[in-house]
Homo-oligomer: A and B are copies of this chain.
């Protein structure tokens, strides 16, 4: 009986991997991105795996929650969630990164639940011989499409901790077009997103126009990361009107987005003003947004993402998917849940092309025509490469970073940079 199997140990391994000098509204990515790899071991020697945030407050929350899953069956997702929500609280005084909902410690319980849930579903799948997607009601598509996620970037990190990446500088419109050509050439993506909010809006609009000319058939998205005032967002909307599939978080706050929605035909998308089910309750009917970007890592797991999807269908909102810098375990978890959701009709965001390293056996996950094929093997369908895990953990120990701080990093390039938002 499956019921005799229970979780005996939790292993939490922080890792660091190389990350490009990618620009955003808050500043610039540091040379190392942090994640945590969580393993749940069972009494029958199985290991379920999960990937989540690796910043210090998240590691503390995971450490605090470690004992909550020991002794549970991998099937006890509801009991796990109850225990985590009862025990895991927001951290006091934690430094939060406004643009990244995943860094908000108010979401600690949701983030820990998600981490354990993915590893428990991986165990369930191994135990019963079914892929995780089948434990979520089965796949409605064989492969999940992702978008080409473009960034403004420098050619090299200021510290030069390792050789520059192969992408070169990405500032001028022609450089952004070249970045898109390279990314689409390598992976076959069928839609394009540009992370904006970095340069003056006229420049970013020029980049979108250049992308439109270079890729006349592809849906385009722009995400100024709430770095534009309402007036700027309204003015830009007129110029972007014919260009965009959706207009993501141009201006801060639900009220700002609602005011903007009155002034543009463009569907507004968000991963900033609605980031929890409770914010959904308060904001879904506001008319502010037409597309929600889900993210199982901070919404509370794969099952909550399915609940969110049903709620989006009810409130007639579109559904897409957000990402942070991540490796293959996250990508595969995203793929399983996206494959299970009929109304997840937009190509999902992923930072994956910006990473070069991996922690799973077999190396990098493959994109075919811009999509990741849904694994048909039991569980998540990926396993840990322990040698690579040890290397990435050693990088974590060596790099010294313990919490993402894109603002502080930007000040190394420009000591006068304030990060004040909205900047434009």
Most chain B CB neighbours (cut-off 10 Å) among A127, A306, A307, A341: A307
A286 at the interface (CB under 8 A from B): no
Q: A130-B2, A342-B82 are in contact. Are A138 and B77 (CB under 8 A)?
A: yes
Interface flags for A198-216 (1: CB within 8 Å of B; 0: not) read 0000000000000000000
Number of interface residues of A (CB under 8 A): 38
Does A79 sit within 8 A of B, measured CB to CB? yes
Partner of A138, one of B73, B129, B281, B304: B73
A157-187, CB < 8 A from B: none
- Residues in A272-321 with C-beta less than 8 Å from chain B: 277-278, 280-281, 303-304, 306-307, 310-311, 314-315
Given contacts A73-B138, A307-B310, contact A128 B2 (CB under 8 A): yes
- Is A243 part of the contact surface with B, judged by Cβ < 8 Å? no
Q: Which of A120-161 contact B (CB under 8 A)?
A: 127-130, 134-140
Q: Which residues of B contact A307 (CB under 8 A)?
A: 306-307, 310-311
**In the complex, what distance in Å separates the CA atom of A127 from the CA atom of B127?**
12
Select one of B79, B127, B135 contacting A135, CB under 8 A: B135
Cβ–Cβ < 8 Å partners of A314 in chain B: 277-278, 280-281
Is the beta-carbon distance between A78 and B1 smaller than 8 angstroms?
no
Bound-state CA distance A314–B274 (Å) is 14
Q: B residues within 8 A CB of A304?
A: 310
Output the nearest chain B residue to A72 by Cβ-Cβ distance: B138
Residue of B whose beta carbon sits closest to that of A127 = B128
Q: Could you say how many copies of this chain the assembly holds?
A: 2
Distance in angstroms between the alpha carbons of A81 and B281 in the assembled complex: 25
A79/B140 in contact, CB under 8 A: yes
Is A42 part of the contact surface with B, judged by Cβ < 8 Å?
no
Q: Which residues of B contact A420 (CB under 8 A)?
A: none
A138 touches B79 (CB 8 A): yes
**Residues of A27-41 whose CB lies within 8 A of B:** none
For the complex, give the distance between the alpha carbons of A304 and B137 in Å: 12
Query: Chain A, 98-135, contact with B by CB distance < 8 Å: what is the 0/1 string?
Result: 00000000000000000000000000000111100011
Which of A130, A137, A304, A376 has the largest count of B CB atoms less than 10 A from its CB?
A137
Q: Find chain B residues with CB under 8 A from A1 CB.
A: 129
- Residues of B within 8 Å of A79, CB to CB, are 138-140
Contact of A340 with B by CB under 8 A: yes
Q: How many Å from the CB of A13 to the closest CB on chain B?
A: 26
Point out the residues of chain B lying under 8 angstroms from A405, CB to CB: none
Would B130 and A75 count as touching, CB distance under 8 A? yes
Q: Are B128 and A78 in contact (CB under 8 A)?
A: no
Contact A137 B303 (CB under 8 A): yes
Are A310 and B277 in contact, CB atoms less than 8 angstroms apart?
A: yes
Q: Mark A47-86, 1 if CB is under 8 A from B, else 0.
A: 0000000000000000000000000010111110110000
Give me 13 A-to-B residue pairs in the complex whose CB atoms sit less than 8 angstroms apart, sorted by A's number: A2-B128, A3-B134, A76-B138, A77-B138, A78-B136, A78-B137, A81-B342, A127-B128, A128-B130, A277-B314, A278-B314, A280-B314, A281-B314
A78-B136, A137-B303, A281-B315 known; 17 new pairs, CB 8 Å cut-off, are A2-B128, A2-B130, A2-B134, A3-B130, A3-B134, A73-B138, A75-B134, A75-B138, A78-B342, A81-B342, A82-B140, A82-B342, A127-B128, A135-B135, A277-B310, A280-B314, A281-B314
